[in-house]
Structure 1
Amino acid sequence: MALQTVDHVAVSLDAPNVDPLQGTKYDFKRDLVGYGRDSIHPRWPNDAKIAVSFVINYEEGAERSLLNGDGQTESVLWEQPHVPDRIGSRDPKIESDYDYGARVGVWRLLNMFEENNIQTTINAVGQALEKNRPLAHSLVAGGHEIASHGYRWIPYHNMTPEEEKQYMLRQMQSLKATTGTYPSGWFVGRCSSHSKALIHEVHEELGVPLLYEADCFSDDLPYWADVPAEKNTDQPKGMLMLPYSYDNNDLKYQIAPGTWGSSGAFFEYLKSSFDVLYAEGLKGRPKMMTIGLHCRISGKPGRFAAVQSFVQYVQQQPDVWITTRKDIALHWHTTFPYVRNNAPLDSIVNELKPDVPKVDNLVYARI
């Protein structure tokens, strides 16, 4: 192997894979080809030109805190992200900023979406929802999808697989208790290299169907991934990856660089993303757009205005499917069923009838 030095570190031009998890059940493969230049037609219901989903991340009360048994306070995604962690003591400022999301922000967002007949996907942290039962009841009554965002809103990459799995099992039981059903979709967020395999394992052990996993950002459409643990099984199910978004996301208000300097900047970015994807849909290659929101961020009045304006803009456009992540996943399972080894979808698409499915019980904008 040819060696060279880069930044005083010896590297090899032909270095082998040094991932310690290679060949194990955790070794999900990367796919750098995807659907290719021409992509595929997703056949959205009613011939929609774009599928749009709004995601509210509900994390408040489950962040790092001495009250939750942690040795430090949370330090990210609040109004003063430059303030360092407090080790061994509480920080009332951070706690109260998170509290705003639970007490006020989430209701402001939910009221607006429900007034516009939009069902959202709630990425719910189990412990957070346990501490706000009125919210859990309202989410169920409003018909919103409740997906899993982990039992705690903490980093999982330093845990053993066994420890992380216990958090997942607790999360499944927690959401079952607060909402009446198990989650069918996951977005861990602060995930580990074990997370996807453990999610698959937990759902298999509990006998609960897993519709999708969203800890990915690699496409504008859902795609199937082979599950390493199913390598030698006769009837593999695969794992549907439903890409999330960190670019169409209000978290950039509170991280640098790239911070949204104003609600107007956030709105303009969302509008630009929508316009590009919508134009691609008009050309015969519809896509999916996901907007990530946080109650303590976009639930604040000044930032809320951007979300409200974007909702109004989207609803003025024809042939837009505004829906939940779960319904997108259900559509994909039905329209593009899993084929092992990421077999090309062209043959599947060509066999499909040209007519698109008709769905009456989902929310559309001017269809």
Structure 2
Amino acid sequence: MHLTSKGFPLFLTFDLDAETMWTARDAGYAKRPILMSQGAYGWKVGTDRILDLLKRHELRTTFFVPGLIVDQRPELMDRILVGGHEIAHHSYSHRWILNLSHDEEREEMERGFEAIKRVAGYAPRGWRSPAAELSDISMQLMLDYGFDYSSNFFDDDSPYLHHVDGKPTKLVELPFRWVLDDAPFFQYSIVLPGRTMQAPSAMLEAWQLELDVLHAERRMMMVGMHPQIIGQPSRLWALERLIEHAKSKGDIWMGRCDEMVADMRPRLESADP
């Protein structure tokens, strides 16, 4: 039995960090136009290429977007929404949470939350932290803002309900792992960590094998991608092959995080001790 009524949940998610991938590390990078152009590729080219791919395959997915990018690119947000996709919370400026005071973290949460409400017309339902970090108040902030799901932890291959300060909650975790992120395969910039560039076939082989095992075990699969990375032609080829591989199984649901979480929550609540 699958976790959802529509089959095995395969989450294809996109973190539209754009220039904030650089400026969050060092505000001075904003004065380096070639660095900024690498981030701009995400909103100028990559996202629309992804939207075209998703439209061809009749898929609706989730974009995690920093509030700053939401504010700067309203026309692009409109195109994402017209495609039926979800816009979820990814901080405001992509600053490292561990470098922030509690007040600064709350401000990042509030500004990003309000930016999405203005553009999308709804409060964001999910939250993914920048750079996979949480502080000692992050979990409570997610509860305070009424999020339905988090996609931050690396500790499971199945969704689960969080317990915060020893108390059960209705907050669903959609865990992932670095092998299911495009950045370790492709992120290359002279000032960013990693600096790797593998063949698209390497990523495709890993992701197809992950899908085969996770599908056989009736778990879930969370893929995290970045339009400035996966939106390049050869990498998008690999993503399309993954989508085709998933479709060939006949019982996989590729959809929006909010909708899949709403579908799976009753099963999670009945199983939670």
- The answer for the alignment partner of 1:186 in structure 2 is 127
- Residue correspondence of structure 1 range 142-181 to structure 2 within 5 A: 142-181=83-122
Q: 1:43, 1:181 → 2: CA distance?
A: 26
- The answer for the alignment partner of 2:20 in structure 1 is 62
Q: Tell me whether 1:214 sits opposite 2:168 in the alignment.
A: no
- The answer for the alignment partner of 1:198 in structure 2 is 141
State the percentage of identical aligned residues.
25
- The answer for the alignment partner of 1:254 in structure 2 is 187
Alpha carbons of structure 1 residues 320 and 338: separation in structure 2 relative to 1, 3 Å: closer
Q: 1:116, 1:130 → 2: CA distance?
A: 29
1:9-57 deviation per Cα after TM superposition (whole angstroms, max 9, x unaligned): xxxxxxxxxxxxxxxxxxxxxxxxxxxxxxxx554214x2x21110011
Q: Tell me whether 1:72 sits opposite 2:5 in the alignment.
A: no
- The answer for the alignment partner of 2:4 in structure 1 is 44
Structure 2 unmatched runs, 5+: none
Structure 1 unmatched runs, 5+: 1-40, 74-88, 204-208, 281-285, 344-367
Tell me if structure 1 keeps the 8 A contact 2:91–2:112.
yes
Per-residue deviation, 1:60: 1.2
Matching residue's letter, 1:262: A
- The answer for the alignment partner of 1:24 in structure 2 is none
Decide which of 117, 126, 131 is 2:58's aligned counterpart. 117
- The answer for the alignment partner of 1:264 in structure 2 is 201
Larger radius of gyration: 1
Q: In structure 2, the residue corresponding to 1:287 is in which secondary structure?
A: coil
Q: In structure 2, the residue corresponding to 1:291 is in which secondary structure?
A: strand
Tell me if structure 1 keeps the 8 A contact 2:3–2:219.
no
Q: 1:110, 1:263 → 2: CA distance?
A: 19
Alpha carbons of structure 1 residues 134 and 288: separation in structure 2 relative to 1, 3 Å: same
Decide which of 212, 222, 225 is 2:162's aligned counterpart. 225
Tell me if structure 1 keeps the 8 A contact 2:13–2:61.
yes
1:284-333 deviation per Cα after TM superposition (whole angstroms, max 9, x unaligned): xx111111111111111121111111112211221112222212211232
Compute the RMSD of aligned alpha carbons. 2.4
- Residue correspondence of structure 1 range 5-16 to structure 2 within 5 A: none
- The answer for the alignment partner of 1:283 in structure 2 is none
Per-residue deviation, 1:128: 0.7
Q: 1:287, 1:245 → 2: CA distance?
A: 14
Q: 2:19, 2:71 → 1: CA distance?
A: 9
Q: Tell me whether 1:278 sits opposite 2:215 in the alignment.
A: yes
Tell me if structure 2 keeps the 8 A contact 1:211–1:326.
yes
1:122-178 deviation per Cα after TM superposition (whole angstroms, max 9, x unaligned): 011111121111111112111111111111112111211121101111111111112
- The answer for the alignment partner of 1:331 in structure 2 is 263
Q: In structure 2, the residue corresponding to 1:72 is in which secondary structure?
A: helix
Q: 2:254, 2:50 → 1: CA distance?
A: 16
Q: 1:42, 1:305 → 2: CA distance?
A: 28
Tell me if structure 1 keeps the 8 A contact 2:149–2:172.
yes
Q: 1:92, 1:338 → 2: CA distance?
A: 52
Q: How many residues align?
A: 266
1:230-255 deviation per Cα after TM superposition (whole angstroms, max 9, x unaligned): 85xxxx64432121332111101127
